[in-house]
A and B are shown apart, each in its own frame.
Chain A
Amino acid sequence: MDNVFIQLFIEFFQIGLFAVGGGPATIPFLMDIPSRHDWYTKADVVNMLAISESTPGPIGINMATYAGFHAAGLTGGIVATFSLVLPSLIVIVIIAKILDKFNENPYVKSSFAMIRPVVTGLIATAVYGIFQTALFTAKDGSFQLPVFPLILCAVFFVAMNLKKLSKIHPFFWMVCGAVAGLVFKM
């Protein structure tokens, strides 16, 4: 079929279906698409990844919108994004219905009681990764120990835990970070 919207739907529905575990899992699929369609290049994927630090939203969504936009403008972006989320929308609603019925089931409760700490451990590894990429990796990929950013990080960490400030919307801290970045030319 030649219609670009149908092709976008097919490609991104598949990514939405097979990329299990989050945004980064979509990247190999996204890298594969340039070999079959001339919607965007691999270099574009790298650009988009770099920009995702400074744009809001989940990285997978941003990538789909970007790829779709490149392929077929605004409508392309919308089609690609909807196609990406459709599989999980369906799956999650089904699971949510099931979980609802078994909410008080002791098997479900006991599994989740153990799953929650494991997930915390998983998130901890992701946090480690974030620290590594954001702070400890220099532009050329080598290890760096950025004293000032680390101090700033500690300051922010302490600040957001102060009783008076702990109820503030996280976005406030992001703005502070942006201002600090501009002031200190980080």
Chain B
Amino acid sequence: MREFWELYTTFFRIGGLTFGGGLTMLPMLKYELVQKKNWVEEDDLLNYYAVGQCTPGIIAVNVSTFVGYKRKGIPGAIVSTLGMISPSLIIVSILAMFIQQFMDNPYVAHAVGGIKVVVCALMLNTVLTMGKKSIVDKITAVMAVGGFLLAMFTPVPTVLLVVLAGIVGIVLYKTGKLSV
């Protein structure tokens, strides 16, 4: 029972402390799940994120569902998801009543200005760390750059990019160029 509580509170913390959208949750997820609790490996996190890109729903929530399932099966998946969405439910409901005053408050605006800068630094850090983990040779380097360029400059949907990458992986494996 205590493990379920831990699952709930961990994801409550992650959901509750991440400002700036789903992607900025990655540093939090990494810290709580990989660094602090060792529930998942960094590779797993990337894998879950990849799958989350191809499935419906919010990526942050999808990752929490994955991890919750890994820890404690279906009940775990439900608990972790609940944990992730609880802070939003509480805070947004309160805010919805005061939204205009909130947006007009100059202190809020200044604080947000500062938070934006930190979010940029955190995200840069995260993507560089991910790069270090996922780019291990020339092939993976090409994949990363290719993914970046295609996503940036072409209308190819991300789902397709992920599927294509998977196919490349299988082809390389079958032709003996990749060992797993």
Contacts and interface: CB of A to CB of B under 8 A. Distances in A.
A119 B116 contact: no
B77 A89 contact: yes
B130 A123 contact: yes
Determine chain A's interface SS by DSSP, over half rule. helix
Contacts of B164: 118
A120 B134 contact: yes
Contacts of B16: 56-57
A26 B53 CA distance: 13
B135 interface: yes
Given A110-B173, A134-B116, A177-B118, A121 B27 contact: no
Interface in A125-163: 125-128, 130-131, 134-135, 149, 152-154, 156-157, 160-161
A7 interface: no
B17 A171 contact: yes
Interface in B152-178: 152, 157-159, 161-162, 164-170, 172-173, 178
A119 B83 CA distance: 26
A92 B91 CA distance: 26
Contacts of A52: 20-21
Interface residues of B, number: 108
A113 B65 contact: no
A74 B123 contact: no
B56 A23 contact: no
B89 A122 contact: no
B140 interface: yes
Interface size class of A (residues with CB under 8 A): 35 or more
A114 B165 contact: yes
Contacts of A69: 92-93, 96
Given A92-B55, A186-B113, A157 B125 contact: yes
A19 B56 CA distance: 6
A115 B166 contact: yes
B54 A20 contact: yes
A181 B110 contact: yes
Nearest to A95: B51
Interface string A19-62: 11111001000000000000000000001001111111111111
Interface string A86-118: 011101110111010000001101111111111
16 contacts: A18-B56, A22-B22, A54-B112, A58-B21, A61-B15, A65-B93, A89-B81, A93-B69, A113-B180, A114-B165, A118-B144, A118-B164, A127-B120, A153-B121, A170-B27, A177-B117
